Amino acid sequence: KIEMSDLFFCHVLLTLLILCEVSKYSDIAHQIINLAVYGKAQNRSDERLAEFTDTIGNRVSGSKNLDLNVHLELVKIPHWVRGEESAVMLLPRNHTLAILGLGSSVGTPPGGIEAEAMVVESFEELKKRASEAKGKIVVYNQPFVSYGETVTYRASGASEAAKVGAVASLHPHTGWQWYQPGVAQIPTACITVEDAQMMARMACRGQRIVVRLTMRDQTLPDVDSYNTLAEITGSEHPEQVVLLSGHLDSWDMGQGAMDDGGGVTISWEALSLIRDLGLRPKRTLRTVLWSAEEPGGVGAAQYFQQHKANISNFNLVMESDLGTFSPLGLQFTGSDEARAIMKEVMKLLATINVTSLEEHGEGTDVNSVHYVFFPGASLHTADQRYFWFHHSDSDTMSVQNPEEMNLCSTVWAVVAYVVTDLDGMLTR
Ligand SMILES: *[C@@H]1O[C@H](CO)[C@@H](O)[C@H](O)[C@H]1NC(C)=O
Ligand SMILES: *[C@@H]1O[C@H](CO)[C@@H](O)[C@H](O)[C@H]1NC(C)=O
Ligand SMILES: *[C@@H]1O[C@H](CO)[C@@H](O)[C@H](O)[C@H]1NC(C)=O
Ligand SMILES: *[C@@H]1O[C@H](CO)[C@@H](O)[C@H](O)[C@H]1NC(C)=O
Ligand SMILES: [Zn+2]
């Protein structure tokens, strides 16, 4: 008869065995570090990313042959097209506003919309002043707190404004937005932070602000696209997989080098490093370059749906989507036992000073599945400057630094290889 305490004991023993096992990888970790940081692969990820983004630019629609076992998997993605867009402030003075329609926005009538602007700092203020909003263009001037908190203004600001009768909304932040079901769909665009703050000052002085907004944006039927997959097939448990990922699509400004060219390139580079060293892990190491992350993790959601039957074989899912600046550590979501193992794995990176294992693995593409099905990890880098460039024309190769990318690729490759090769799967 097996007692609960026996099972517990077995579990602890297994965990201890795995911890011992991790330290055996220090040789391989050093080979990867030497190759990527100091050796022949130095700056390769940066060079690949530069060639890729300089040649293709944003809105990537093809993929390079990675010279590995590469294939494409079909997904359906939204097809929104930016049309001619313009906005002018007519009162209290004439001033052209630089605008950028938010993804999925409807257009205005051909002559545009001319209306008084109502500036608010928060959804709370919008609700309090709801009776003033009818027929107005709501201008959000919310302070930036954090991406997670502030992005909700971009994501649902149009619907919140429509609920109180506004005819359009303007925001100091660009990217995709989502209309809420059953709420009138009003045009919505990004303006500059400078203009949002200026209009807030004008409103504060009691000056009447009038804006004319013209947008020809439209949504066409969904189109076919592909998640791009490359893998090194496992030698002992090919059906069990570790996923390394970033998203291949980008916003339509700049080159999409930072968001998420960097994440894509280090996920590709990690496979190359492991292959260059002639290593073949016991499980399958699969790099997935997601399609259509920007409209809300569309390609990833379909991937996990398509692979639902084999979901119990996913051992760890990793995503890099917050820049590939100087790496600080790995963010991880998973069981305590899995965390203990990941802590040991990070010790293998001591010589490049990246040993910290933090809480909360994240990434739009994998958020929905981490917590439910399997452990997840994301790369944490010195990303203080991320939102200077995010979704703007300045998201170009000039943001990237080859030495930082060498380090990011190394972290990605070492963690991915070791977890893919350990005797046991990470516990759920
Ligand atoms: C890698 O990039 C760094 C920084 O730009 C440079 O100093 C170094 O010479 C480069 N190495 C190679 C092999 O190109
Ligand atoms: C603003 O420009 C319009 C034409 O677009 C013009 O009719 C109007 O007089 C101008 N207003 C001011 C205050 O300059
Ligand atoms: C699930 O795994 C089985 C066995 O490894 C494989 O034959 C099948 O193609 C997989 N299905 C998907 C959707 O990945
Ligand atoms: C790690 O830190 C040590 C001590 O500060 C430093 O000498 C070394 O250059 C660092 N290594 C890397 C790859 O940053
Ligand atoms: Zn991104």
Whole-number Å distance between alpha carbons of 273 and 261 = 18
Residues with CB under 6 A from ligand 3: 239, 306-307, 309-310
d(C-alpha 31, C-alpha 273), whole Å: 9
Give residue 227's pLDDT: 95
Q: Is 261 in the same domain as 325?
A: yes
* Residues 215-244, mean pLDDT to the nearest whole number: 95
Residue 282 in any domain: the answer is: yes
**How many angstroms is it from 353 CA to the middle of ligand 4?**
6
CA–CA separation, 124 and 130 (whole Å): 10
pLDDT of residue 186: 98
Report the SS3 class of residue 203. helix
Q: Angle at CA 97, nearest 5°, toward 94 and 99?
A: 160
Q: What is the mean pLDDT of the chain?
A: 92
Please give the structure tokens belonging to residue 53. 């983004």
Alpha carbon distance, N-terminus to C-terminus of the chain: 26
124 CA distance to ligand 1 centroid (A)?
Answer: 51
Q: Which domain holds residue 272?
A: 25-77+222-421
Of 186, 216, 246, which residue constitutes the final position of a domain? Answer: 216
> Which of 63, 104, 75 is CA-nearest to residue 223?
75
Do residues 316 and 250 share a domain? yes
Q: Are strands 283-290 and 218-232 parallel, antiparallel or unpaired?
A: antiparallel
Of 145, 156, 143, whose CA–CA distance to 200 is shortest?
Answer: 143
* Ligand 3 atom closest to the CA of 307, numbered from 1: 13
Residue 242, judged by CB atoms within 10 A of its CB (0-12, 13-18, 19+), counts as: buried
Q: Looking at the structure, tell me whether residues 369 and 252 fall in a common domain.
A: yes
The helix (run of H) or strand (run of E) holding residue 363 is none
> How much is the pLDDT for 60?
36
pLDDT at residue 63, rounded to an integer? 33
CATH of the domain at 239: 3.40.630.10
Q: How far apart are CA 45 and CA 59, in angstroms?
A: 20
- Of 85, 269, 293, 319, which is the active-site residue? 293
Ligand positioned closest to the Cα atom of 47: 1
Do residues 385 and 4 lie in contact, with contact meaning Cβ atoms separated by under 8 Å? no
Give residue-wise pLDDT tens across range 223-235: 999 999 999 999 9
Kindly give the number of the ligand 2 atom that is closest to the alpha carbon of 88: 5
Q: Same domain, yes or no, for 227 and 212?
A: no
DSSP percent split of the chain into helix, strand, coil, nearest 5: 40, 25, 35
Q: How far apart are CA 159 and CA 177, in angstroms?
A: 9
- Strand, helix or coil for residue 189: strand
How far apart, in whole angstroms, are the C-alpha atoms of residue 126 and residue 141? Answer: 11
Closest ligand, as measured to the CA of 260: 5
| Ligand 3 atom closest to Cα of residue 238 | 5
> How does residue 146 score in pLDDT terms, banded at 50, 70 and 90?
confident
Task: Say if residue 251 is in the same domain as residue 162.
Answer: no
Q: Whose CA is nearest to atom 7 of ligand 1?
A: 403
How many other CB atoms are there within 10 angstroms of residue 221's CB atom? Answer: 7
Number of the ligand 3 atom closest to the C-alpha atom of 306: 13
Nearest CA to ligand 4 atom 2: 353
Q: Where are the alpha helices (DSSP H) in 223-315?
A: 262-276, 298-306
pLDDT band for 67, please (50, 70, 90 cuts): very low
Residue 245, domain member (yes or no): yes
Q: Is residue 18 part of a domain?
A: no
Best mutation site among 42, 353, 356, 410 for ligand 4 pocket (most ligand atoms within 8 Å of CB): 353
* Judgement on whether residues 229 and 370 belong to the same structural domain of the protein: yes
Residue 381, number of CB atoms within 10 A of its CB: 22
57 pLDDT exceeds 90? no
Amino acid at 210: V
Which of 188, 216, 244 delimits the end of a domain? 216
Residues 231, 370, single domain; the answer is yes
Distance 310 CA to ligand 3 centre (A): 6
Q: What is the DSSP letter of 34?
A: I
Same domain for 229 and 316? Answer: yes
Asked whether residue 10 is assigned to any structural domain, the reply reads no
Of the listed ligands, the closest to the CA of 147 is: 5
Please tell me the predicted confidence (pLDDT) of residue 105: 97
Domain CATH number, residue 185: 3.50.30.30
114 catalytic? Reply is no
Residue 369: per-residue pLDDT: 57
- Do 71 and 31 share a structural domain? yes
Identify the pLDDT of residue 13: 81
Last-in-domain residue among 185, 216, 247: 216
Does residue 353 share a domain with residue 298? yes
What SS3 class is residue 248? coil
- Closest by CA to 246, choosing from 268, 230, 231, 223, is 268
* Rounded (10°) CA dihedral 239, 240, 242, 246: 40
Q: What percent of the chain has pLDDT over 70?
A: 95
Q: Is residue 151 assigned to a domain?
A: yes
Structure token pair of residue 422: 């350990």
13-41 tens-digit pLDDT: 877 777 788 999 999 999 999 999 999 99
Say how many domains are in the chain. 2
pLDDT digits (tens, 9 = 90+) for 165-208: 999 999 999 999 999 999 999 999 999 999 999 999 999 999 99
Would the CB of 236 count as within 6 Å of ligand 1? no
Ligand 2 centroid – CA 173 distance (Å): 28
Ligand 1 contact via 42 beta carbon (within 6 Å): yes
| Structural domain includes residue 2 | no
* 271 and 371 share one domain: yes
Minimum mean pLDDT range among 12-26, 140-154, 279-293, 301-315 = 12-26
Residue 229: what pLDDT? 96
Give domain status of residue 3, yes or no.
Answer: no
| Phi, psi angle pair for 324, to nearest 5° | -120, 60
Least confident of 67-81, 120-134, 375-389: 67-81
Task: List, for residues 353-393, the tens digit of each pLDDT value.
Answer: 999 999 988 776 666 555 467 899 999 999 999 999 999 99
Same domain, 183 and 234: no
| pTM, two decimal places | 0.90
